[in-house]
A = this chain, B = another copy of it.
Amino acid sequence: MQFSAAQIAVLINGTVEGNPEVLVGSFGKIEEAVSGQLSFLANPKYEDYLYTTSASIIIVNDNLELKQPVTAALIRVKDAYSAFATLLSKYQELKTQQLVGRQEPSYVSTSAKMGEGVFIGAFAYIGENVTIGNQVKIFPQVFIGNNVTIEDNSIIHPGVKIYHDCKIGRQVTIHAGTVIGSDGFGFAPQADGSFKKVPQIGNVVVENGVEIGANATIDRATIGSTIIKAGAKLDNLIQVAHNVEVGNNTVIAAQAGVSGSTKIGSNVMIGGQAGIVGHISIADGSKINAQSGVSKSIKLPNTAVTGSPAFDYTSALRSQAVSRNLPELEKRIKELEQIVKSLKFEV
């Protein structure tokens, strides 16, 4: 796919300066781009590259003043970065839409229902009574268990495994290797020290617009549903245990984990490698710092916490600061003790 400067200018509402017919077929950073690539200049720090880059087209802010002539065609817009991102999104959508049809060999049960414009990659497995919406893209080696539904425009990357009975909404993206609907970790201790499995018969519900990273795990509920609400964004290698609820537009960074039955509110931000114990609730808008260990419910919205165990951000930071001077503090106590001892003696 190749596009001219004139075509691109229309898409991003810009004006061309230079040759409107020059073509590009891919994207590059301004400092690395080669001929035939499109780039952008948003940060003035990089302006020098404007005069040395080999990019064929560069999107720039409309108030940019050139210090010398450029060889590339420029497209002037209000906000160069945002226009560039818009362009990328449209480009990726286009490429994704072009993926249509079924590669062979693949396994699609006869009871599965398929929408229009669906892509099924090679070695993908579609179980019984599965319902796949329009424009859903299922990459190679994906496993879709019995009775799963996936709604319109969702993208399931290679090797994702979705166990039976789970529900995936519209415009959901799930990255490679992620497992949805594995059994929750439920075992009843027996008198002899062994454990008896508690059957996990619930499912996972992933609502519209959710994105989940690679190699994450989201367990099915013991009974009922583990729920990832609309617009939530989960990074790679995240663990979400059975019966957890993750609220709307909540963001969870890589390698964080949430234990069973915990309810996380909306617009919460959870840092990487943070851990949250089970059976608590986290108020809307909470900010949980990376590597924190949250052991109690957060009841006040917009609370920021840090540390393991996690406490209110400001006081935790103050304690950490003193904590760094502990050897000095101990020395001061020792000195006081000696002075006081001598004082007592004198008295």
Contacts and interface: CB of A to CB of B under 8 A. Distances in A.
A11 interface: no
A213 interface: yes
A275 B289 CA distance: 12
Interface string A104-130: 010100000000000001110100000
A311 B216 CA distance: 30
Central interface residue in A139, A182, A214, by most chain B CB within 10 Å = A214
A179 B215 contact: yes
A282 interface: no
Q: So how many copies of this chain end up in the complex?
A: 3
B103 A122 contact: no
Interface in A6-34: 27-29, 32
B236 A194 contact: no
B233 A185 contact: yes
Interface in A140-167: 140-141, 143, 145, 157-159, 161, 163
B175 A179 contact: yes
B293 A291 contact: yes
A125 B277 CA distance: 38
Interface string A181-201: 011010110000111011101
Contact of A214 (B157, B195, B217, B249): B217
A92 to B, nearest CB: 5
A1 interface: no
A332 B337 contact: yes
B182 A213 contact: yes
A322 interface: yes
Contacts of A255: 239, 255, 257, 275
A65 interface: no
Contacts of A198: 85
Interface stretch (A43-51, A66-74, A265-273): A265-273
A27 B221 CA distance: 13
Max chain B CB contacts within 10 Å: which of A182, A329, A332, A337? A182
A84 to B, nearest CB: 9
A235 interface: yes
Given A157-B161, A239-B236, A322 B333 contact: no
Contact of A239 (B32, B145, B237, B241): B237
Contact of A201 (B27, B259, B332): B27
A323 B319 contact: yes
A180 to B, nearest CB: 9
Nearest to A347: B346
Contacts of A257: 237, 254-255, 272-273
B324 A323 contact: no
B125 A141 contact: yes
A319 B327 contact: yes
Contacts of A175: 179, 182-183
B291 A275 contact: yes
Nearest to A255: B257
